[in-house]
Every structure is written in C-alpha cells, then in structure tokens.
Structure 1
Amino acid sequence: MRGGLPGSYDTAEKTWLWGWANPGLRSSAVVAASERIGESGRRRGVAELVQQGVDLADFTDPRQAVEALAFTGAAVLGAPGYLGHEAGPNAPGARAHPRRGGAYVNASAGFEEAGARMRSGQSLSA
C-alpha cells in the first residue's frame, strides 16, 4: 500500500493546506502526488485545487468540506480512497473512506453542501 499526504486541516484557523504547499514538506516524497492535484486544478481552472490554502470557516461543518477536498484530491490521483486522521488530545481517530464503483461513499451534509457549491459554480471557500 502506498500513501501520501494530500493536505492538512487547521482546526483553529478552519483552513485546508494542500500538501504541495506545506513549507515543511514541500518537494518531499510524502507530498509528491499532491503536486498533481494542483496541476489538475490549473488545467481545469478549479481555484480550490490551485490555492495553497482554502478558507472553510463559512461552512456549517468545515470538517465535512475538508472531506470533500480530500475526496476530490483522491479522485484526481485515481486513488481507491483516503484515510483521514485527526490529530490532537480530543481527536476521535482515523476514518477510512473507500471508493466503490468509481464514486466515493459519504452521505454527510457537508459533502452535499460542497457538491452543491461546486455544481452551482460557487467557490468552496465562499
């Protein structure tokens, strides 16, 4: 099994930072695949994939928007899913999100909110 770090979420700032933009990890093997996410965003004109950081503070549940970004990154990379893990003393632990039949399985309201924003042409960080 191969793994990498597509990005990270700052719970205090409510922002997502793509792995390729992380100054402590830039150009390292652990974020190499995430560079393809940024390249895909540039080719397709998707601001949230190109911005180093994405402000998610306006979401009802920013963590669900984080999952939407992680799902999108996994889809760009052709990954079979992703493993999310919250760090910190009160974190609930890891969650695995497999992809079935080409679609990621997640019925959360935040994911639906992010999808609706993208379909309507709104920015995820709006």
Structure 2
Amino acid sequence: MKKLLQIVLVSSLSLLCFSCYYDEIPEQLVVDIPEIPDTQVISFGTEIQPIFSKCTGCHGANISPDLRSGSSYSALVPKYVTADNADASRLYNYLPGNGHHDVGISLSANEIALIKAWINQGAKDN
C-alpha cells in the first residue's frame, strides 16, 4: 500500500509539473507601410469607407466605433482620429495589421497607407 501511494504521488507530481502550458504571445509583424505622395488626394467616400466595410462584422451599431457607411465619419472624427497626425490617432494605431489584436481580418499595407495618408491630409469627409 505504501509503495502504491508513492507511485501515485510521484505520478501526480510529474503530471502536475509537465502539464503546465503557457501560450506564447506572438510577436507583432512589422509591416512596411508604403508612402502615399502628398499630391495624391485621398477620398473618404471612395477609398477609406470601403476599407472600413471590412470591419463592420464587429464594428457595427453595437461596438464602437460604428464603421458602417453613413455613420463612420462622425463616429471616428475627432474621437479616434487626430486630423493631420496619424501617429497620434487611436484609429491608426489599432488598425488590424498595425496593432489591433484578436480579429479575423487584417488590412493590407496599402490599405493602412491609405488610411494614414487620409488622416495626415486632414481626415476630410470628402
């Protein structure tokens, strides 16, 4: 009986020690964001809103910011967007592929560059 107790105790301790599991946090991928020329005017309605349409599965009426067409501009500016300064904008810093986590989509480097250029051009509702 004593021998059986020792075997069970050693087995239990072994299982306890080897069964610990730690998720590793994946490193952020560094994405090279292309530069958009200052002369290229970015249109919110035709270039930026279609990008945000990818996000409406989560960011609809119930989760802020509301990125649905017709609602997104007023939901974003000025609360999430610092016009003329993408690096200081909450929106830019949390884009999928640029800091946003736990989402099923990611934006391409070109889409991120368009949003950055739009913000740096004053985040106009055009």
Structure number with higher strand proportion:
1
- Please give the TM-score of this superposition, normalised by the length of structure 2: 0.27
Structure with max Cα Rg: 2
- Please give the TM-score of this superposition, normalised by the length of structure 1: 0.27
